[in-house]
Structure 1
Amino acid sequence: MDDGIEPRLVEVLDVPRLGAVVRGNAGSLPWRLVDESGAGVNHVNLWLADLFACDNSPATLRAYAYDLLSWSRFLGALQVSWTQATRGEVRDWVRWYRCRANPQRRRGSSADTHRPTPGSVNERTGKAYLESSYARSSMNRRLSSLSGFYEFALESDLGPLINPVPKSRDDLTRLDVHRQHFDNPRPQKRAPYRQKLVERAPRALSDDLYEEVFASLRTNRDRAIVATAISSGLRASELLSMRRGMLHAADQTADVIPKGGNGSRVMVRISPTAYLWIARYLAERPVGPPEEPVWLTLRGTPRPLSYWAMRQILERSNALLGSNVTMHDFRHTFCMRLAQDENMTIAEMQELMRHASIASTTRYLRPTVAELVDKLDQHWNRPPSPQPTPAKGYAAEDLQVLFGRAF
């Protein structure tokens, strides 16, 4: 346990990769945490079961399970029991993350030198590449997960005496955080160890860049995926949830499982052009059952397309074009196009974007850099009103020569 005198040298701390998150029974607990022997970690699994009973999605349970797995590994390296952890261990956990490189950022071999510097800005898109370190939002989510777990443990008398994760005095609920955009202009004070977040304005792809990306795609499947994404704003997970029986060609709509939908379906409209590419792609495949995924692999035995395989579609295009386009950029482009439509209300935009909070929709109403530059140019070039007249004793033609414009 931290003695409070000298901080630990977390930079050299060796944290063994013990334990794992494994699939459970989808009907009772879809994800479980096990230790190095394969036995269930009961105090964590009880919390996951409680979250599942509260109708949290399996994806949420999986993320929280990995957060607690990281915490368990860290405490194991410190030889501290989870019931004896203090604020000092939470502080050092955050420090440990801050000085570590995210292994998911490592792609290719160490000799691969053509990749851009992490954090640099791509000239084609104006978008920065990911940093090699862990994202600040990821660290904040881990702290939220840990705090929620200890709150549950305290209420359930599982052993700890305190919640080691400190909170802000004016800690707000998620609903209040959304409401403060309209009702409470006072910014929320960050709790200790919560990282500063920089809100970046969404970026849309230019029409020219989108055309280049689309022209670089090599198969009808890839063209169908990209055309569907940019015409409907579907997230990657929503695209992957599409099934043959969920396509409705008569009215060019499709049923998808929305983010956090827990199996519920929503109907989305797909553009006629995108539906044409879907039809071309499906015509190349044997007719399958209604529950068959729309997007399958093209090599070897057909398998449902995974998220990572879908990312590779754009990796090839990015290498060719020198860009860093992602699947989510198509959603941003769709949303920005809606925001620029003067006939579209913000409530309609929220429904089409499938945002749970209207505060998420308002992010797309902010002017872009290009719009601000145009407005500023117009401001500079607009003559003052009313037109000034020379004072008595000054000749208008002399002032025109002096200042370069008529008076």
Structure 2
Amino acid sequence: MTQLGRSGRDLKHFVLPDLGQLQETGDRWEPYRLLDPAGSPVEPVAVFFRDLLAAESPATTLYSYGNDLLRWWRFLWTFDIAWDRAVSEDARDFMLWMKLADKPVRVHWRHRGKLRAAVPVASADRPTPGTPNPVTGKPTLGNKYAPNTRAHCETVLRTFYKFHLDEGNGALLVNPFPLDRRRGRGRANAHHDPEKPLAPTRSGRYRPTVPKRRPRRIPDDKYAEIFGGLRSDRDRALLSFWTSTGARAEELLTSCQSDAKPGQQLIGVIRKGTREYQLLPASPDAFVWLRLFQEEAWKGGVPRGRGEPLWWTLRRPWRPLNYHAARAMFRRVNELLGSNWTLHDLRHTASYRMANDPEMSLTYVQHILAHRRLTTTQIYTEPSEDDVIAAGLAHHARQEAKKKAPKPEPVSPGYNPESLSVLFGDGAI
């Protein structure tokens, strides 16, 4: 047996091959399809996707789950393991490889088949992967799979096998991604204080511990730099709406032209989870930039109508703007500034601004952000990491100023300084 693996697997030098693909079909009945190396659909995944669609899961969920399933299937194809014959040792090796190995480099489609292990890359304008960004302070993407990625992958694969076990599909006998051994020993949360929230439990045996991350907002000065780096009125309108409504990036892109109501200062979006339609208050500047974009777009031939999409590409052929194009726009601004802000940081920024307005009730903020629980909204009332750092630096600056400040002269030269010190403390001399 070689290091890290069973049955002769050398996981230490294993590189995940670029086999199969997750195909976007454009068909709402089957938005995504997992294909094997021969180009044929993987039927167990197709059945799982149909069940997710019937359970009101959006297409974005299928895309997220599909990437984890594709990674697992590539592992199975490499070692010639049938999906319904995998055991816990196979799952253990896979999760161990995700923990210790370098991520494969994503290459252009023209160079597929030339996948290799990632190596640290650093330059004068690009920090080493995994280190904090010099502009934002946020960690950059590292060469290893992040704990969040590994935890999500373990949950998806355990849920996938549980579905097929419940349905009795294939020759599957056991779930290769078992529950934690500690489960089943006594009643869950037997000694829990009912006045305190339930602590999250690690339900999967190979599920990693995910560190708690505090949401990061964009400081006002950095936001001004981002806004100044935008190249079109459309992008300025998008940024203004994101930071004033708190809507998720993909939610704002669901708006039609009739959803923008400048007279009422409202814009309608479809919520990501519930798919409910909601009107959100927005800043006046956002509607100004939107009108400037619309005037220019309509003159260029963009379709006009109440049911037409609100956001469009800037060049012919005119296409409704999707999330990937919006993220590419924001990535170009990041490259210009040397930062690594994300579109979701704009939602955090809006959340912090609203939650820290003393004249705005937190329950109103909860409704605007579409949080299911008020405790989720309350995290934005806590000081952000930037505020904590600024307060700490200000404290040290005050301490240094006290050291450098000249000591005051005694009240009168005729008094004994030691007596004044006893009566009034050291500050009297």
| Smaller-chain TM-score bracket | 0.7 to 0.9
CA offset digits 1:362-384 (Å, max 9, x no partner): 32222234554648949x98xxx
Which residue number in structure 2 is paired with residue 252 of structure 1?
Answer: 265
The alpha carbon displacement at 1:14 in A equals 4.6
Structure 1 residues 374 and 17 mapped into 2: Cα distance closer, same or farther (>3 Å)? closer
CA offset digits 1:337-382 (Å, max 9, x no partner): 122122333322211112233343232222234554648949x98x
Which residue number in structure 2 is paired with residue 145 of structure 1?
Answer: 156
Which residue number in structure 2 is paired with residue 129 of structure 1?
Answer: 140
Confirm whether residue 278 of structure 1 aligns to residue 293 of structure 2: no
The alpha carbon displacement at 1:277 in A equals 0.8
1:201 to 202, 208, 214: 214
TM-score for the superposition, normalised by structure 2: 0.78
Say whether the 8 Å CA contact 2:85–2:172 is kept in structure 1. Answer: yes
Higher relative CO (CA 8 A, sep ≥ 6), structure 1 or 2? 1
Range with greater deviation from structure 2 (77-86 or 243-252): 243-252
The CA distance in 2 between the partners of 1:362 and 1:160, in whole Å, is 44
Letter in 1 for 2:64: A
CA offset digits 1:184-222 (Å, max 9, x no partner): 455524632212212121222222221222122222111
Write the mapping of 1:81-160 to structure 2, written as runs, cut at 5 A.
81-98=82-99, 99-101=101-103, 103=105, 113=123, 114-158=125-169, 159-160=171-172
Which residue number in structure 2 is paired with residue 183 of structure 1?
Answer: 196
The CA distance in 2 between the partners of 1:395 and 1:217, in whole Å, is 66
Confirm whether residue 166 of structure 1 aligns to residue 178 of structure 2: yes
Letter in 2 for 1:103: V
Say whether the 8 Å CA contact 2:354–2:365 is kept in structure 1. Answer: yes
Write the mapping of 1:208-287 to structure 2, written as runs, cut at 5 A.
208-262=221-275, 264-286=276-298
CA offset digits 1:263-305 (Å, max 9, x no partner): x422111111111111111111116133333222223422222
Say whether the 8 Å CA contact 2:154–2:204 is kept in structure 1. Answer: no
The CA distance in 2 between the partners of 1:324 and 1:63, in whole Å, is 22
Give the number of aligned pairs. Answer: 384
The alpha carbon displacement at 1:253 in A equals 1.2
Say whether the 8 Å CA contact 1:257–1:265 is kept in structure 2. Answer: yes
Which residue number in structure 1 is paired with residue 428 of structure 2?
Answer: 406
The CA distance in 1 between the partners of 2:341 and 2:216, in whole Å, is 11
Which residue number in structure 2 is paired with residue 321 of structure 1?
Answer: 337
Say whether the 8 Å CA contact 1:147–1:165 is kept in structure 2. Answer: yes
Which residue number in structure 2 is paired with residue 386 of structure 1?
Answer: none
TM-score for the superposition, normalised by structure 1: 0.82
Confirm whether residue 49 of structure 1 aligns to residue 61 of structure 2: no
The CA distance in 2 between the partners of 1:275 and 1:394, in whole Å, is 68
Structure 1 residues 195 and 325 mapped into 2: Cα distance closer, same or farther (>3 Å)? same
Letter in 2 for 1:12: H
Which residue number in structure 2 is paired with residue 397 of structure 1?
Answer: 420
The alpha carbon displacement at 1:67 in A equals 2.0
Say whether the 8 Å CA contact 1:242–1:294 is kept in structure 2. Answer: yes
The alpha carbon displacement at 1:62 in A equals 2.4
CA offset digits 1:106-159 (Å, max 9, x no partner): 9xxx99843222222233322222223222112111111111111111111122
Say whether the 8 Å CA contact 1:31–1:61 is kept in structure 2. Answer: yes
Which residue number in structure 2 is paired with residue 388 of structure 1?
Answer: none
Which residue number in structure 2 is paired with residue 384 of structure 1?
Answer: none
Provide the secondary structure at the position in 1 that maps to 2:279. Answer: strand
Range with greater deviation from structure 2 (346-355 or 307-316): 307-316
Say whether the 8 Å CA contact 1:102–1:134 is kept in structure 2. Answer: no
Structure 1 residues 14 and 325 mapped into 2: Cα distance closer, same or farther (>3 Å)? closer
Say whether the 8 Å CA contact 1:136–1:196 is kept in structure 2. Answer: yes
Say whether the 8 Å CA contact 1:236–1:328 is kept in structure 2. Answer: yes
Say whether the 8 Å CA contact 1:170–1:189 is kept in structure 2. Answer: no
Say whether the 8 Å CA contact 2:155–2:204 is kept in structure 1. Answer: no
The CA distance in 2 between the partners of 1:203 and 1:292, in whole Å, is 34
The alpha carbon displacement at 1:86 in A equals 0.9
Structure 1 residues 363 and 7 mapped into 2: Cα distance closer, same or farther (>3 Å)? farther
The CA distance in 2 between the partners of 1:101 and 1:268, in whole Å, is 40
Say whether the 8 Å CA contact 2:330–2:342 is kept in structure 1. Answer: yes
The CA distance in 2 between the partners of 1:182 and 1:73, in whole Å, is 46
Say whether the 8 Å CA contact 1:181–1:359 is kept in structure 2. Answer: no
Letter in 2 for 1:163: N
The CA distance in 1 between the partners of 2:167 and 2:354, in whole Å, is 47
Structure 1: give runs of 5+ residues left out of the alignment.
382-392
Say whether the 8 Å CA contact 1:203–1:329 is kept in structure 2. Answer: yes
The CA distance in 2 between the partners of 1:128 and 1:28, in whole Å, is 38
Structure 1 residues 151 and 316 mapped into 2: Cα distance closer, same or farther (>3 Å)? closer
Range with greater deviation from structure 2 (369-378 or 284-293): 369-378
Range with greater deviation from structure 2 (303-312 or 277-286): 303-312
Letter in 2 for 1:75: L
Structure 1 residues 318 and 145 mapped into 2: Cα distance closer, same or farther (>3 Å)? closer
Letter in 2 for 1:74: F
Which residue number in structure 1 is paired with residue 368 of structure 2?
Answer: 352
The alpha carbon displacement at 1:25 in A equals 7.7
Say whether the 8 Å CA contact 1:252–1:272 is kept in structure 2. Answer: yes
The alpha carbon displacement at 1:92 in A equals 1.3
Structure 1 residues 229 and 186 mapped into 2: Cα distance closer, same or farther (>3 Å)? closer
